[in-house]
Structure 1
Amino acid sequence: MTASVIPQYKPLIAEFKDIDNLSSSDFEIFVRDLFVASGWTDAEITQTGKEFKHGDGGVDIFAWKGKRKFAIEVKQRQLGTTVDVKALNQLVTGATLANVTYKILVTNSWFTSEVKARALRLGVELIDRDELQNLWVIKHSEIGRDIKPRTYQQDVINEALALHAAGKSKLLIEMATGLGKTYTAAHLIKRLIQKNSRRPRVLFLAHQVEILLQSVTAFKNVLGIGNFSFSACFGGTHPEDTDFVFASFDTLYSKLDALSAGAFDYVIVDEAHHTLAKTYSAVVSLFQPQLLIGLTATPYRTDNRDVVSFFGGADGHIGKFDLVWALKNKKLAFPKYLVLLDDLDQDKIDQLESGLSLSDIDKLLFLHKKDHEIVRLIDKTVTEQGIENVKGIIFCRNIQHMNHLIAFFEPGTATLVHSKMYDQERRENIRLFREGDYKYILVCDLFNEGIDIPETNLLIFMRYTGSRTIWLQQLGRGLRKTPNKEFVHVLDFVGSLERLNEIKGLAKEIEQQPRYHGSTIDDPEEMDAPGVYHDTSLEVQFSAEAAKVLALLEEMKMQLNSRDVLLDKLRRYREKNDELPSIAKLEQELADISLDQIATHFGSYLSYLTSAFNEDVDIPSMRTRLIEFLDTFIGENNMAPSFYTISLNFGVNPLYEFSEKEIQQLLPDYDNLVSARIKVADSQVESDMPVKEVDVCPWIETYRGKPLNLVSFKQLPPDVQKQIKNKYQSAFVFLKKLKDAL
């Protein structure tokens, strides 16, 4: 083949949306040149009657990537139309005639669901309008990459293999967005297959079709084409008898009756924190593979259900390369974080200094500025920060908030997407944001997972008070790195003191995170990529108002960790130390956490533990300690302690280990326990007391002949109870004396 040399990429268009105005031949040239700019070589457009006797034979371009030759078919369509299986069949036929294994179908439109499913079975890569625009923006494609694991990925693979060899059948791999979770899993599966001589059966599960298609590319790059068979199971299709099945949860859930527990040797679950949802867990729990692998960037759920335990427990939780690690090691675009707060007047500052509860402070500071004022402030801040060619994602509280807020943006500058939209409408709005003049796209329940817009250079959080987990998911998704994007601006209209403190805490965590000593770049494509130097500290600016609040909180000694932060620190402590800190050592063992914070968020230490670990808490030992306390107290006082008394004994001010209600739940047989122990104490008193005449005592004379027991004794006036106890040491001894005097 004669090389087609293009010394410098000179696109035929100025803006991506102009591709629709190209002629068919120019569109082919555009695609060829874009592929060359993105790493392919020797790209040639086929000529009628040259490579094939008739027409182009179903192949428009031949190109090389490394040692792999690709057959590329280009289909230009009108917007609103789709590419069907006819084009797919043409490409497969043409590639077969040309004896080319690797195939790509490209369009400026989109593909039908049938094409997506069949392409996977036939080994065809698909580039639709969205992926073509990604290629236009970043000049890079995962297709055809011949890569080896990065050092930190290899560390995870080695640990996984060692744990599996030692008997572990479940693993959870935690890696932040952009660190290559799927490639790590693909290399791990490759190693496992090499150790097993028989045909493998592998299931890859995800909740979005986009994730499945991206994952197929990664597995093909690692395992090659032709070595294994692949199939798709989404959009209602049935799982096929192939080596690898890439399936969506909803479709596989509807096909469970046709599957057996031993259908797959290895099961991989992407975005594994979803697994505890009812339908997802039903799918995963059906199978009994040799190894179950969960992949996630965020192992903790907003409802605090235990994902780690589902995937085999703390000893199988590996990787732990989280967002902090990724930022420290420059694997994500760095956020330039600006924290904005409502204006503060002296009255508000005075109220802060007077000492208020956390909820009162939140109400004081965060419920004032109107949405139309915030929209104006966004435009003002964008201008002041010098952000050019704005493409901003705005995270809203809910769909209602989003629909209300968009009315305040200048017409033609903002659009929105949410999960209740039809797919076609959502896709069209995203296209208009990427290609048109829209500066902003408003979202609330999308863009946490699976969807990337490389052009994004601004993230805006609209007074969002949701969980730390969701916040970090959204932040990480917006920070995916591209060759021409080293920084992302972030505007956070903080909605609570917790968020204010979380931002400050994130900066501190990044500062304290040790640098990884191994290489994080083993791919030549990455080594050659241009970059902008920056240090590894998080750049956070606080508005004057936010800075005032932080200063006041510092003076007030208020360390306001959020509930999620408290849970995360406790979970990580147990994973590292394989034990839990005692209540007396909590502040010593968990950095920047106070007993007051735990009491505020959870009420008791037991509630803190159960919120973090559900039922994975040593309840029997707690019950034993409570019973031992009953023994001691009754033995010393000859009376039963109240639940309040017990709670006071098990605590370090201001945090109780158990609330009164929790003690009742731990000791449902409290009355029987007390009764048995008082009888023992009664017999001991009788045996120890010398026989003597009944004392003549005014208290004895006062209550002689009156029915009095422990319950009615507690109903006596407090000063009377005190005087009697001073004379007789306890109510029990007095009641015994009274009984003897009858």
Structure 2
Amino acid sequence: MTAFLDDRRLLRGPWQAFERDVARLLMHAGFEDVRVVGGSGDKGADVLGVKNGETWVVQCKHTTSAPAPKTAVQEVVDAGTFYKANRMIVATSRAIGGGIEAEVDRLRRIGITVELLDPARLLRLSKEVDEYTGTRRDLRPYQTEAVNRFREGLTDTGKAQAVLATGLGKTVVMAEVVADLYRDQLIPHNRVLVLADKVELVRQLQFGFWQQLPKWIPTHLLSSSETPSFFEGVTFATVQSVIGRLDDLPDFGLVLVDEAHHIGSRTFRSAIDALEPPMVGGVTATPWRGDGFDIDELIGKPLIQLGISDGLQHGFLCEVDYRLLADNIDWKFVQDISAHNYSLNQLNKRLLMPTRDEEAARLIAEAFISEKRRGGIVFSPTVDHAEAFSGVLRGYGLRAEAISSRHEPRERDQLMAMFRRGDIDLLASVDLFNEGVDVPDVDLIAFMRATHSRRIFVQQLGRGLRISDGKDKVIVLDFVTDLRRMAEVVELEKSASGPIERLPLGQNLISFRDASAGSFMLEWLKDQADLMLREGDPQLEIPRFEFPAPTQSGNVQ
């Protein structure tokens, strides 16, 4: 059986793919935690792995002709010191030269052991490791059904769409479909292209596929800074990089689109029209588009549609403790306006619910510390706000950082690695976490920005819905200053099955805790019909609180 790491990769690279293949080799060798950390500021490390409680650090050297330089040995020693590694390895794409061997011998004499992975040993290991990684996920029943329906749609009609809420395994389903089609030799040209709109998402997709693919399917990455040396197997690419290289790309038998609601954009449509794949499919958690384009035209109607309701009811998504915090609400004004049936836009122009950043930071810190949260995300209205607000959070003793498009990709990678390790408590962002970011340990979300888009709201909330070991629930602190979010919360009464509770309002900061907005919000999240309804604004139903009934009453009191 062949393996993803072969002579083509060793001879042709590119060097980034060589690093990733070494990381994938560790995954198939049973390592529990593998990360590619190569880049500026990597302290000499390219790949980190943990196995049996030991940390391994690997320096990868891909050269096209000459042997790797002996400086690689000192680089891995420096990295081993920085990362407190138990094992230090230099992996090379060319035979080991005398300079490296002499340097290894010198260090051995003073008690420092550096191990070598030359091409022959790498190829031998690639044949010996297990066909699948130890982190391969067993399919849940609904995922098995999704895989079967998706595959059938592709082979029968050339189109397939699956709608799966965040946390229900969209990547797992796509990877299993690809593996199945490869096993049965049903992919023309033996090439698959997986498209996304961000480099970070493309990289994460590749890692996600590794967990499910057998080792004999190679993978590649196509971006503005990297071009595959061959295309057999699965290529993960940003749509922008595809548009820029259409004349140089081979034919692909299958094109898959992650976050398929983007497929209606002119860029995605242009790419797919030019590629003319015999099979095209897509997965998404939020099939709505603000421009009204129907993505069913390109990838067919959803063959399976599972929402937050299914995940919550079957324990595949974690519980939500939703807390709506607001202050200075002029309900007398709302009473007057409701009688005239003013629109949400008109209400928003005249009524806001401001919450000062200082007070919000205090409440976030209080919840994070007192309820022993592991990691949190703050959604800010602007990048400037994210940077300023992270500073306010640090004033309350939290390790907080902003992450945005102002950072270079490598800087964002470093921040995400620190966040996943637990070295950062909270990250403040605007839209970077809307799609594709897999951070299952996140158990606190704070909304400091209003969004008028159900798709964005559900995407952002979905960052906290993934389950992980030791995670009891996700706490959502909603500080938005827009009445439309109130409309969303009021609309949840349509699906609330518990007793209706009277919520008195005053002039001070008001917190809707577990017994009120928290439980109602959970029921609203379970209302799949509402979540799939449309992209536009919901119709506000004014609640009856402490004033006479409005002309058109709702049922929340």
What range describes the TM-score normalised by the shorter chain of this pair?
0.5 to 0.7
1:395 to 363, 379, 387: 379
Write the mapping of 1:230-309 to structure 2, written as runs, cut at 5 A. 230-234=219-223, 235-238=225-228, 240-259=230-249, 263-309=251-297
- How far 1:485 moved relative to its partner? 0.8
1:442 paired with 2:431, answer no
Q: Match for 1:402: what amino acid?
A: A
Matched with 2:327 is: 342
Matched with 1:331 is: 316
What SS does structure 2 have at the residue aligned with 1:273? helix
Q: Match for 2:280: what amino acid?
A: L
Identity of aligned residues (%): 28
1:311 paired with 2:299, answer yes
1:34 paired with 2:38, answer no
* Counterpart Cα distance in 2 of 1:241 and 1:350: 63
Contact 1:468-1:565 within 8 A present in 2 as well: no
- How far 1:470 moved relative to its partner? 0.4
Matched with 1:207 is: 197
What SS does structure 2 have at the residue aligned with 1:320? strand
* Counterpart Cα distance in 2 of 1:220 and 1:409: 37
Matched with 2:166 is: 177
Q: Match for 2:455: what amino acid?
A: T
Q: Match for 1:301: what amino acid?
A: R
More contact order relative to length (CA 8 Å, sep ≥ 6): 2
- How far 1:355 moved relative to its partner? 4.7
- How far 1:487 moved relative to its partner? 0.6
- How far 1:301 moved relative to its partner? 2.5
Q: Match for 2:473: what amino acid?
A: F
Q: Which moved more, 1:199-208 or 1:142-151?
A: 142-151
Write the mapping of 1:102-113 to structure 2, written as runs, cut at 5 A. none
- How far 1:394 moved relative to its partner? 0.9
Q: Match for 1:191: what amino acid?
A: D
* CA shift in 2, pair 1:380/1:280, >3 Å: same
TM-score (norm: length of structure 2):
0.64
* Counterpart Cα distance in 1 of 2:328 and 2:125: 69
Write the mapping of 1:152-551 to structure 2, written as runs, cut at 5 A. 152-164=142-154, 166=156, 168-196=157-185, 200-226=190-216, 228-234=217-223, 235-238=225-228, 240-259=230-249, 263-312=251-300, 314=301, 317-344=302-329, 347-348=332-333, 351=336, 355=340, 357=342, 358-363=344-349, 365-379=351-365, 386-389=370-373, 391-411=375-395, 413=398, 414-431=400-417, 433=419, 439-505=425-491, 544=505
* Counterpart Cα distance in 1 of 2:266 and 2:190: 28
Contact 2:391-2:401 within 8 A present in 1 as well: no
Q: Match for 1:401: what amino acid?
A: H
Q: Match for 1:144: what amino acid?
A: G
* Counterpart Cα distance in 2 of 1:265 and 1:593: 41
What SS does structure 2 have at the residue aligned with 1:442? strand
Deviations 1:176-217 (CA, angstroms, capped at 9, x unpaired):
222222222232233334444776222222234444444445
* CA shift in 2, pair 1:480/1:74, >3 Å: farther
Write the mapping of 1:561-572 to structure 2, written as runs, cut at 5 A. 568-569=532-533
Contact 2:220-2:235 within 8 A present in 1 as well: yes
* CA shift in 2, pair 1:331/1:389, >3 Å: closer
* Counterpart Cα distance in 2 of 1:32 and 1:274: 39
* Counterpart Cα distance in 1 of 2:452 and 2:92: 44
Contact 2:386-2:402 within 8 A present in 1 as well: yes
Contact 1:458-1:490 within 8 A present in 2 as well: yes
* Counterpart Cα distance in 1 of 2:336 and 2:330: 10
* CA shift in 2, pair 1:351/1:423, >3 Å: same
Deviations 1:260-301 (CA, angstroms, capped at 9, x unpaired):
5xx111111112222333333322221222210112111112
* CA shift in 2, pair 1:170/1:32, >3 Å: closer
Contact 2:402-2:427 within 8 A present in 1 as well: yes
* Counterpart Cα distance in 2 of 1:214 and 1:407: 29
* Counterpart Cα distance in 2 of 1:428 and 1:487: 27
Matched with 2:127 is: 101
Write the mapping of 1:597-676 to structure 2, written as runs, cut at 5 A. none
1:87 paired with 2:91, answer yes
Deviations 1:296-338 (CA, angstroms, capped at 9, x unpaired):
11111234333232323x3xx1221122322232212221111
* Counterpart Cα distance in 2 of 1:470 and 1:159: 27
Contact 2:196-2:237 within 8 A present in 1 as well: yes
* Counterpart Cα distance in 1 of 2:78 and 2:312: 38
Aligned residues: 428
Matched with 2:66 is: none
* Counterpart Cα distance in 2 of 1:431 and 1:543: 44
Matched with 1:674 is: none
Contact 1:95-1:103 within 8 A present in 2 as well: no
* CA shift in 2, pair 1:259/1:99, >3 Å: closer
* CA shift in 2, pair 1:382/1:78, >3 Å: closer
Deviations 1:369-416 (CA, angstroms, capped at 9, x unpaired):
433343334345557xx4224632110112233344345444363321
Q: Match for 1:170: what amino acid?
A: K
- How far 1:155 moved relative to its partner? 1.6
Q: Which moved more, 1:487-496 or 1:180-189?
A: 180-189
Contact 2:159-2:279 within 8 A present in 1 as well: yes
Contact 1:327-1:334 within 8 A present in 2 as well: yes
What SS does structure 2 have at the residue aligned with 1:87? strand
* CA shift in 2, pair 1:251/1:85, >3 Å: farther
- How far 1:488 moved relative to its partner? 0.9
* CA shift in 2, pair 1:327/1:416, >3 Å: same
* CA shift in 2, pair 1:439/1:508, >3 Å: farther
* Counterpart Cα distance in 2 of 1:541 and 1:377: 24
* Counterpart Cα distance in 1 of 2:417 and 2:219: 30
Alpha-carbon RMSD across the aligned residues, in angstroms, is: 4.5
* CA shift in 2, pair 1:92/1:502, >3 Å: farther
* Counterpart Cα distance in 1 of 2:210 and 2:374: 36
Contact 1:458-1:488 within 8 A present in 2 as well: yes
What SS does structure 1 have at the residue aligned with 2:91? helix
TM-score (norm: length of structure 1):
0.50
Q: Match for 1:497: what amino acid?
A: L
Which stretches in structure 1 are left out of the alignment for 5+ residues?
Answer: 1-19, 37-42, 44-72, 105-122, 124-141, 513-536, 549-563, 572-591, 598-653, 655-742
Contact 1:341-1:543 within 8 A present in 2 as well: no
Q: Match for 1:294: what amino acid?
A: G
* CA shift in 2, pair 1:290/1:346, >3 Å: closer
* Counterpart Cα distance in 1 of 2:303 and 2:125: 43
Q: Match for 1:259: what amino acid?
A: L
Contact 1:171-1:318 within 8 A present in 2 as well: yes
- How far 1:462 moved relative to its partner? 1.2
1:76 paired with 2:66, answer no
* CA shift in 2, pair 1:542/1:97, >3 Å: farther
